Structure 1
Amino acid sequence: MGKYQKNIEAARRISVMQYLETYHPGELVRKTDKEYRTKTHSSLVITPANGKFHWYAQSVGGNNAIDYLTKVEGMNFVSAIRLLSAMTPMPVSIQAAKATPTRQHTVRPFELPAADRNTEAATAYLMHRGISPKVLRYCVNSGILYQTTRGSYRNCVFVGKDAEGVPRSAFQRCCQGGFRGDVAGSQKQYGFLIPAETETCDTVEIYEAPIDAMSGATLRQYKHDAPWRSVHYLALGGLNHQPIDYFLQQHPEVRYVSLCFDRDDPGRNFTKIVAKRLAERGYIVQDTPPAIGKDYNDYLLAARRLISMER
């Protein structure tokens, strides 16, 4: 069995209760001795005895955390596996009875990869992807972007921090090959954030990947219609509600949300789910997929070509 298949099998053994108790303990509301519901969805019933949940309002259900993440939180399958791989279930007996307590689990400690002395390979790679030097300098100087070496490969490291500025998550992207993935132990509620220049900013643009968020910032810089740091840029590291919820909790002044997800089926489906969820909470939501290409980096590269042709 391959490593990825083992990750899938391990993720299938994680229950909805384990996931919520780890990442969203405040969501759980006990209704009876046998049932829980969630604060966000009052019609979503969880039964710990059999590990099942059912969301009556949407007529969907399941029996593990993968089902919950994909059907309720709108996350794609790969992102769900990455998130759940940070939770390591302890061995349990195959013959466990229904009354057996919820399986225990541990969360891998988070530690940033060692930083290289410079960021030459990372900045060269990102400039090749169209990111402006100004945006790159800000990210490097803010400690949310640096370079690390893994074997003979140089990787970009995109860092997610908490409200106190402490790194809590990180995503790596190889400068020379196709490798990409979360750093072990990353807490997915902490997204990659380029904050607005003013604390009173009321607008956030939300992207799937850090490079897309940096592309959006670069596009605003090139358009000259507003200072490039006139809005917040948040990258989720996949299709994941958690960074959105954490960001909005920490920024109560934000009222306007632009959803800048990929122009593909997962991105469009996730946009519908998030837009509805945020609108119900009183936010003014705008659906702004890339005008050209699949994602905002495609859009940026196409825009740069057009600018070069005009010149």
Structure 2
Amino acid sequence: MRLPAENIKAAREVQLVDFLNTYRPGELVRKSRDEYCTKSHSSLRITPSKNLFHWCSQSKGGRGALDYLLTVEGMSFRSAVMLLNEMEFVPFQQARAAAVESSRTREFTLPRPDKNTQAATAYLMHRGISPKVLRYCVDSGILYQTTRGNYRNCVFVGKDEGCVPRSAFQRGCQGTYRGDVTGSQKKYGFLMQAENPDCDTVELYEAPIDAMSGATLRQYTDIGKWRSVHYLALSGLNYLPIDYFLQQHPQVKNVVLCFDRDEPGLRFAETVAQRLAERGFNVEKRLPAVGKDYNESLIWYKPKIEKQRGERV
């Protein structure tokens, strides 16, 4: 399937320095007022004012984050475009240049909630999410339902340390619609808190449904109580929520990376693991056992768990 022109255009507009600061934290090294190199490549010269880079030792160069991913990191064109669209590629959806939009201040307002969550809970239960996990998310105010035109959407909410909503991501209950709510601040991820405030472990996922899937798998397979760890969804391959969460939870020492089993997810896991290990965290990379992501893994395992337990779960 060909990439839509809107997605490619959005990827080409992402500034290289913005990309590195967000997805490769600590990689940039300032050489002068308007020149950087990177920790990985001392001969790579980046000029932010022109959005250009030149890799002296390889006699290669380019413009912007897309050329950097293709030339320096060797990523495929499709994977690079998907990554720069925050891994939320949907063929019929208008592309979002998130790194460009991040520099613009826009008012954040949550969509108007519906009176019930029937369509959202039915959709998520169809995706395998357990009623217990759903009830927790709804009761905690991090999941609700909204209607736009004739379509109902799930709204996944990210809150700050004072429990004030600061970001939200919508997923259609029908079709393929998905997208951030205007003005969302990307450092506030979708967080399911551990029951014990002194919990020292967090599991990191790319998307809210994957985080809910990980929690459901833990509940169904009786690996202790399902709320024995924190579950944080980053809404893409986004480092900002990781830093914010760890600042707010200094007791956390163990980080489990539950990213997708694809090229961008694996690369991001390597980067995050290295950065966190350098900061003294215990890091485990835990790929989905089956399929590309944890929701696919849940859908595959659920009927087998039901059969083993001899009851509906």
TM-based fold match above 0.5: yes
Mark the CA change 1:275 to 1:10 in structure 2 (over 3 Å): closer, same or farther: closer
Tell me the equivalent position of 2:97: 84
Instruction: Check conservation: 1:209, 1:237, Cα contact below 8 A.
Output: yes
Tell me the equivalent position of 1:284: 282
For 2:12, the aligned partner's letter is R
Tell me the equivalent position of 1:100: none
Tell me the equivalent position of 2:253: 255
Shift of 1:23: 11
Q: What is the CA deviation profile of residues 61-86 of structure 1, one whole-angstrom value per residue up to 9, with x for unaligned ones?
A: 753255578978x9953352356347
Query: What is the CA–CA distance in structure 2 between the aligned matches of 1:204 and 1:76, rounded to whole Å?
Result: 27
Shift of 1:107: 3.0
Instruction: Check conservation: 1:86, 1:185, Cα contact below 8 A.
Output: no
- Asked if residue 130 in structure 1 is aligned to residue 128 in structure 2, the reply is yes
Instruction: Check conservation: 2:128, 2:299, Cα contact below 8 A.
Output: yes
Tell me the equivalent position of 1:12: 12
Q: Normalising by the residue count of structure 2, what TM-score does the alignment of the two structures yield?
A: 0.79
Query: What is the CA–CA distance in structure 1 between the aligned matches of 2:287 and 2:136, rounded to whole Å?
Result: 25
Query: What is the CA–CA distance in structure 2 between the aligned matches of 1:266 and 1:295, rounded to whole Å?
Result: 12
Shift of 1:169: 1.4
- Asked if residue 181 in structure 1 is aligned to residue 172 in structure 2, the reply is no
Query: What is the CA–CA distance in structure 2 between the aligned matches of 1:51 and 1:109, rounded to whole Å?
Result: 28
Shift of 1:10: 5.4
Match among 211, 227, 240 for residue 238 of structure 2:
240
Mark the CA change 1:37 to 1:190 in structure 2 (over 3 Å): closer, same or farther: farther
Q: What is the CA deviation profile of residues 14-70 of structure 1, one whole-angstrom value per residue up to 9, with x for unaligned ones?
A: 5345678999999987653333578x8895764234222468999997532555789
Instruction: Check conservation: 2:66, 2:80, Cα contact below 8 A.
Output: no
- Asked if residue 201 in structure 1 is aligned to residue 205 in structure 2, the reply is no
Matches of residues 70-219 of structure 1 in structure 2 within 5 Å?
Answer: 77-81=81-85, 84-85=97-98, 87=100, 106-219=104-217
Tell me the equivalent position of 2:91: none
Query: What is the CA–CA distance in structure 1 between the aligned matches of 2:270 and 2:160, rounded to whole Å?
Result: 27
Q: 1:307 is paired with a residue of what secondary structure?
A: helix
Q: Which stretch of the first structure deviates more once superposed, 15-24 or 178-187?
A: 15-24
Q: 2:307 is paired with a residue of what secondary structure?
A: helix
Tell me the equivalent position of 1:221: 219
Mark the CA change 1:159 to 1:41 in structure 2 (over 3 Å): closer, same or farther: farther
Mark the CA change 1:190 to 1:140 in structure 2 (over 3 Å): closer, same or farther: same
Query: What is the CA–CA distance in structure 2 between the aligned matches of 1:17 and 1:166, rounded to whole Å?
Result: 30
Instruction: Check conservation: 2:13, 2:100, Cα contact below 8 A.
Output: no
Mark the CA change 1:268 to 1:24 in structure 2 (over 3 Å): closer, same or farther: closer
Query: What is the CA–CA distance in structure 1 between the aligned matches of 2:56 and 2:164, rounded to whole Å?
Result: 39
For 1:285, the aligned partner's letter is V
Shift of 1:270: 2.0
Instruction: Check conservation: 2:22, 2:240, Cα contact below 8 A.
Output: no
Tell me the equivalent position of 2:50: 50
The answer for unaligned runs of 5 or more in structure 2 is 87-95
Q: Normalising by the residue count of structure 1, what TM-score does the alignment of the two structures yield?
A: 0.79
For 2:287, the aligned partner's letter is P
Query: What is the CA–CA distance in structure 2 between the aligned matches of 1:297 and 1:49, rounded to whole Å?
Result: 42
- Aligned-residue identity in percent: 62
The answer for unaligned runs of 5 or more in structure 1 is 90-104
Query: What is the CA–CA distance in structure 1 between the aligned matches of 2:229 and 2:57, rounded to whole Å?
Result: 35
For 2:169, the aligned partner's letter is F
Mark the CA change 1:23 to 1:220 in structure 2 (over 3 Å): closer, same or farther: closer
Instruction: Check conservation: 1:86, 1:107, Cα contact below 8 A.
Output: no
Mark the CA change 1:81 to 1:66 in structure 2 (over 3 Å): closer, same or farther: farther
Instruction: Check conservation: 2:35, 2:47, Cα contact below 8 A.
Output: yes
Q: Which stretch of the first structure deviates more once superposed, 284-293 or 56-65?
A: 56-65
Mark the CA change 1:26 to 1:107 in structure 2 (over 3 Å): closer, same or farther: farther
